[in-house]
Amino acid sequence: MSVDLNSEEQAVTTQIERFSSEVLAPAAAEIDAKSQFATLHRAALAEMGIMGMNLPEMYGGIGLSGPALYCAVEAIAGACGSTASMLTAHFLATDSLLLGADEVLKQRVLPAAAAGEALGAFALTEPMAGSNPADMRSTATRDGEGYRLKGSKCFISNAGEADFIVVYAKTDNEAGARGVSAFVVEPGKTDGVDIGKHEETMGLRGGHVFPISFDCHVPAENRLGDEGTGFRTAMKVLDNGRIEVAAQATGIARAALDAAVSYAKEREVGGRPISSFQGLQWMLADSATELAAARALGLQAARKRGTGERYSSDSAFAKLYASEAAWRIADRALQIHGGYGYTRDFPLERYLRDLRIFRIYEGSSEIQRTIIARELLS
Q: Residues 140, 89: one domain?
A: no
CATH number of the domain bearing residue 354: 1.20.140.10
Beta strands in 41-172 (DSSP E): 120-123, 139-143, 146-157, 164-170
- Give the model's pLDDT for residue 1: 53
Q: Is residue 161 part of a domain?
A: yes
Q: Residues 357, 244: one domain?
A: yes
CATH number of the domain bearing residue 130: 2.40.110.10
Domain end among 230, 254, 274: 230
Q: Residues 207, 226: one domain?
A: yes
Number of domains comprising the chain: 3
Q: Which amino acid is residue 223, in one-letter code? A: R
Q: Which residue out of 8, 30, 362, 375 is catalytically annotated?
A: 362
**Cα-based torsion angle of the residue sequence 165, 71, 247, 105 in order, rounded to the nearest 10 degrees:** 20
Q: Is residue 354 part of a domain?
A: yes
On the 0-12 / 13-18 / 19+ scale of CB atoms within 10 A, 366 is exposed
Task: Tell me which H or E stretch contains 215.
Answer: strand 209-219
Q: Establish whether 349 is a catalytic residue.
A: no
CA angle 58, 225, 115 (to 5 degrees): 30
Q: How many CB atoms lie within 10 A of CB 336?
A: 24
**pLDDT (tens place) for every residue of the chain, 378 residues total:** 568 899 999 999 999 999 999 999 999 999 999 999 999 999 999 999 999 999 999 999 999 999 999 999 999 999 999 999 999 999 999 999 999 999 999 999 999 999 999 999 999 999 998 888 889 999 999 999 999 999 999 999 999 999 999 999 999 999 999 999 999 999 999 999 999 999 999 999 999 999 999 999 999 999 999 999 999 999 999 999 999 999 999 999 999 999 999 999 999 999 999 999 999 999 999 999 999 999 999 999 999 998 889 899 999 999 999 999 999 999 999 999 999 999 999 999 999 999 999 999 999 999 999 999 999 998
Is 81 in a helix, a strand, or coil? helix
Q: Is residue 83 part of a domain?
A: yes
Q: Residues 210, 323: one domain?
A: no
Backbone angles phi, psi at 143, to 5 degrees: -145, 95
Q: Is residue 2 part of a domain?
A: no
Q: How many CB atoms lie within 10 A of CB 293?
A: 15
Q: Residues 83, 126: one domain?
A: no
Q: Residues 202, 144: one domain?
A: yes
**Domain containing 155: what range?**
120-230
Domain end among 114, 137, 157: 114
Q: Residues 27, 150: one domain?
A: no
**Cα-based torsion angle of the residue sequence 269, 270, 273, 279 in order, rounded to the nearest 10 degrees:** -70
On the 0-12 / 13-18 / 19+ scale of CB atoms within 10 A, 210 is buried
Q: Residues 253, 217: one domain?
A: no
On the 0-12 / 13-18 / 19+ scale of CB atoms within 10 A, 136 is buried
Is 280 in a helix, a strand, or coil? helix
Q: How many CB atoms lie within 10 A of CB 316?
A: 27
CA 121 – CA 159 distance, rounded (Å): 6
CATH number of the domain bearing residue 31: 1.10.540.10
Q: Residues 359, 308: one domain?
A: yes
Domain end among 114, 133, 148: 114
Q: Is residue 1 part of a domain?
A: no
